[in-house]
Structure 1
Amino acid sequence: MAEKAKTVEEYLARLDPSYRAELERIRALVKELVPGLEETVSYGMPTLKHRGRALVYFTASKKHLSFYPSSWAIAELRERLSGYKTTEHAIQFTPETALATDLIEDLVRVHVREIEADRQ
């Protein structure tokens, strides 16, 4: 079994180029939207933290990518996610069915608002 990535860069370097490009786009977008994020790997997934709490996770599987913006954000914006497979915490997509920039921004804004309100 391959050793788990210890950094976001290491995780991304191991991916198929099309998956890597899409996750790099999401990473850059979230970092631009919320300056000063901490990058780490948590639960084996690249994680961007805001105020010491996980803001988003993102990951690649064999057949899809996943974005984890929080169950609160998914619930609040559910009507905009009708074209995607979702779980309570994740949105699944492919490079061909990528999440729109404005949707990512809105999902992140919802979770930032909840973190800043100290919602548990």
Structure 2
Amino acid sequence: MGLIDTHLAGVADANRAALARVYDIARDVDPDATEGESYGMAALLHRGKGYVAALESKAHLGLYPFSGSVFSSIADELTDFDWSPGALKFSADHEIPEPVLRRILEVRIAQIDAQLDRSGKKR
């Protein structure tokens, strides 16, 4: 059992399904993503960098792309959600639409690739 499965095992059923959906779509967008930790959170990594985490809190579910600029770059697509530069709140009853989630994930991958390509890291 990986870090994400271990994390999801402790989450309430309805929330678990919503969080698992995020990870399933994230793996579809980046089939080479690996499980690991970023900022102490169970996360998917792209090229070793924090790609996405989805977690349960007492009041909501949160999506964390480990970037302060992903959400602001697509703010017009997030009008139905509360978000800050580093987190987007959602719930099992108000999930992130798949096209929007895919856009968030694609933006994050592009950021990581640009950063690592500038530093000369191999793909």
TM beyond 0.5: yes
Deviates more, 1:70-79 or 1:42-51: 42-51
User: Identity percentage over the alignment?
Assistant: 26
| Aligned residue identity for 1:102 | P
Task: Tell me the TM-score normalised to structure 2 length.
Answer: 0.86
**Where do 5+ consecutive residues of structure 2 fail to align?**
119-123
* 1:8–1:41 CA contact under 8 A, matched in 2: no
* 2:37–2:50 CA contact under 8 A, matched in 1: no
Counterpart position of 2:14? 18
Residue 102 (str. 1) matches residue 76 (str. 2): no
Output one character per residue of 1:36-72: Cα deviation in whole Å (capped at 9) or x when no partner. 1111234442211001100111110112100012322
CA distance in 1, matches of 2:57, 2:102: 23
CA distance in 2, matches of 1:105, 1:14: 26
After the TM superposition, list the runs of 4 or more consecutive aligned residues in structure 1 that deviate by more than 4 angstroms. none
State the 1:10 CA deviation.
1.2
Aligned length, in residue pairs: 115
CA distance in 2, matches of 1:113, 1:66: 21
**Where do 5+ consecutive residues of structure 1 fail to align?**
1-5
Task: Tell me the TM-score normalised to structure 1 length.
Answer: 0.88
